[in-house]
Amino acid sequence: MYTKIITAATGEADPAKIARMEDYMRNVIFHSTLDWQTAAQLKRAAKTAARELPMLDAIMGRAA
């Protein structure tokens, strides 16, 4: 549902990575549903997710 916003904010095109970012936004950044967030908040959250998920993968020893 938020694929276009996430792609526009991050440049990501991989559906699996986009889905993971959306999940991270929902469960870690906002701790809530995304439907009440503004477009600007969603874009910032997508950029945050794109920045933080690779770092978390590195810490956990997972391939990005």
Q: Are 3 and 43 in contact (CB under 8 A)?
A: no
Does the pLDDT of residue 4 top 80, yes or no?
yes
Phi, psi at 39, each rounded to 5°: -60, -40
Q: What is the pLDDT of residue 56?
A: 93
Tell me the pLDDT band of 1, cut-offs 50, 70 and 90. confident
Domain ranges of the chain: 3-60
Does the pLDDT of residue 64 top 90, yes or no?
no
Residue 10 in tokens: 């991050």
User: Can you give the pTM of this predicted structure?
Assistant: 0.90
pLDDT by residue (tens digit) across 5-60? 999 999 999 999 999 999 999 999 999 999 999 999 999 999 999 999 999 999 98
